[in-house]
Structure 1
C-alpha cells in the first residue's frame, strides 16, 4: 500500500508541475499578445 501511495504522490506532483508549466506558457502568450495583460489584475 505504501509503495502505491508513493506512486500516486509522484503522479500528482508531476501533474501539478505540468499544469504549472502550461499556465506559465499561457500567461506568456497572453502577455506577448497584450503587453498590458497582468494576471493579477485581469
Structure 2
C-alpha cells in the first residue's frame, strides 16, 4: 500500500514539475516576444 502511495505521489509531482517547466518556458517566450516588440 505504501509503495502504491509513493508511486502515485511521484507521478503527481512529475506532472506538476512538467507543468511548471512548460509554464516557465511560455513565460520566457512571452517576455522574449515583448522585448522584441519594444525595439
- Normalised-by-shorter TM-score class: 0.7 to 0.9
| Residue of structure 2 equivalent to 1:17 | 22
- The CA RMSD over aligned residues, in Å, is 0.4
Q: Which has the higher contact order (CA 8 A, sep 6+)?
A: 1
Greater radius of gyration (CA): 2
TM-score (norm 2): 0.84
Q: Give structure 1 regions of 4+ aligned residues with deviation exceeding 2 angstroms.
A: none
TM-score, normalized by length of structure 1? 0.78
Aligned residue pairs: how many? 34
